[in-house]
């Protein structure tokens, strides 16, 4: 479904894509609150991931069967990534917060 954890560190395209999405979100923060941008970004990720699961499922019935596994996968991945990034912000708080 998604780039595996082991490949993320080695996959330049993965990081370029992630950075492009973040750049767009940052651009939107010029017109909207960061909380609204964050909520929209999270919704967009959920909507796109639901699409990816659906088009790779093999049909409506298979999608219904795979639903719980897909949700568990994305929740686990999101939690891992969020924790990793919050830890990064804790470690680099002064450097990152001085940008504002």
CA–CA distances in Å: residue 84 to residues 45, 69, 76, 81, 93:
18, 23, 12, 5, 14
Query: Number of folded domains in the chain?
Result: 1
pTM for this structure?
0.81
pLDDT in tens, 67-100: 999 999 999 999 999 999 999 999 999 999 876 5
User: Containing domain of residue 28, as a range?
Assistant: 5-97
CATH number (domain holding residue 70): 1.10.287.3020
Q: Which pLDDT value is given to residue 39?
A: 98
pLDDT in tens, 4-53: 445 556 699 999 999 999 999 999 999 999 999 999 999 999 999 999 99
């Amino acid at each position: 479904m998604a780039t595996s954890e082991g490949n993320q560190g080695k996959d330049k395209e993965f990081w370029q894509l992630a950075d492009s999405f973040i750049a767009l979100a940052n651009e939107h923060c010029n017109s909207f609150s960061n909380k609204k941008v964050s909520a929209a970004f999270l919704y967009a990720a959920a909507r796109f991931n639901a699409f990816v699961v659906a088009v790779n499922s093999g049909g409506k019935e298979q999608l219904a069967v795979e639903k719980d596994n897909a949700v568990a996968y994305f929740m686990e991945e999101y939690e891992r990534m969020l924790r990793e990034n919050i830890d990064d912000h804790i470690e680099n708080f002064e450097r990152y917060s001085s940008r504002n």
